Amino acid sequence: MAPATDPEQLRRQVLEELEQATAWLQSRWPERPRVGMILGSGLGPLARCVEPQAEFPYTEVPGLVPPTAQGHQGRLRCGHAGDVPAMVFQGRVHLYEGHPAHRIAFPVWLLRRLGCRLLMIFSAAGGLNPQLAEGQVVVLTDHINLMGVNPLVGLNHPDLGHVFPDMSRAYWPRGIALAQRLARQLDLPLPGAVYAGMRGPNLETRAEYRFLRRIGADVVGMSTVPEVIAAAQVNLPVLAFAVVGNMCLPDALGRMTHEHILQATQQATRHLAQLVERLVPQAVSELAADQQQPAT
Ligand code: HPA
């Protein structure tokens, strides 16, 4: 569909596409996903946490666009994580691929409409905090949006969710504590981290890395932020994990390649999968326990 230019038309178009995609998926996989996962660069193998019942290429699902970035599959898996119905977006699209921000938020709105209660996001990131190391997994506690765009522009309408979403608990605090408790049991270090979202596609300059560290970021990446903003709009608690694929120390910066980042990220997937397998059922039951209350 040609992109709408008028805000009213854009809203109608997005709502229509959401209805189509919801009906399309419900007719092919009748369960309500309780957890939704979005997998980024090099993290496709995490899909194995979900036993598949159905899989669809993004090209078949209304409203989804196939990713072009290396390391992103573009398949939607529907199945069970333990006994929890789950949907896994294997690969995501990014702003740097030229898509408007609402296209990146689309899977989040879709999950919410399908009945999802928890969004889990996985991405690769650069490590700004010198205490981090390549291959280290972090759980995001907050973000700084430096992407220059916002997926809710023109779409902050009651038909979609909050008009002015509160971001103070966008990263589910009790979920973060639970993830860290379970990680300790697995001997997996899982520090909290603030994520700086950049539009990309280039990696940052030394001066930019220095700046990002000074303004309080621990890691930097080119994804996650649009999805988290969309999740806050629709009251969807988020657990977001990033794997450090490269260290970004401005005074000791070597040359870096995307292949290196993918490789370093892939190495962490086994540990991360162990954590996710334990975390999903506990997180979902914790959320079910306080169904009527906002997630804190
Ligand atoms: N910058 C931005 N995004 C990234 C990086 C980086 O250094 N590493 C992995 N994703």
Residue nearest to atom 6 of ligand 1 (CA): 126
pLDDT confidence of residue 190: 97
Give backbone dihedrals phi and psi of 92, rounded to 5 degrees, phi first. -135, 160
**How far is 97 from 19, CA to CA, in rounded Å?**
25
In the chain, where the domains are located: 28-246+256-289
Residue nearest to atom 10 of ligand 1 (CA): 125
Closest CA to 47 of 83, 76, 85, 84: 76
Pocket of ligand 1 (CB under 6 A): 124-126, 198, 203-204, 220-222, 245-246, 248, 261
pTM for the complete prediction?
Answer: 0.94
Closest CA to 160 of 121, 117, 105: 105
pLDDT confidence of residue 67: 81
Question: Which residues of the chain fall short of a pLDDT of 50?
Answer: none
Q: To which residue do tokens 């291959």 refer?
A: 135
pLDDT confidence of residue 43: 83
Active site residue 157: no
Closest CA to 117 of 22, 21, 238: 238
Residues facing 39 on adjacent strands = 90, 122
Torsion of CA 248, 253, 257, 263, to 10 degrees: -60
DSSP string of 20-57, one letter each residue = HHHHHHHHH--SPPSEEEEE-TT-GGGGGGSEEEEEEE
> Hey, what CATH topology would domain 28-246+256-289 get?
Rossmann fold (3.40.50)
pLDDT confidence of residue 292: 52
pLDDT confidence of residue 42: 78
> CB–CB of 121/227 below 8 Å?
yes
- Segment (H or E) for 287: helix 269-289
Active site residue 96: yes
**How far is 124 from 290, CA to CA, in rounded Å?**
31
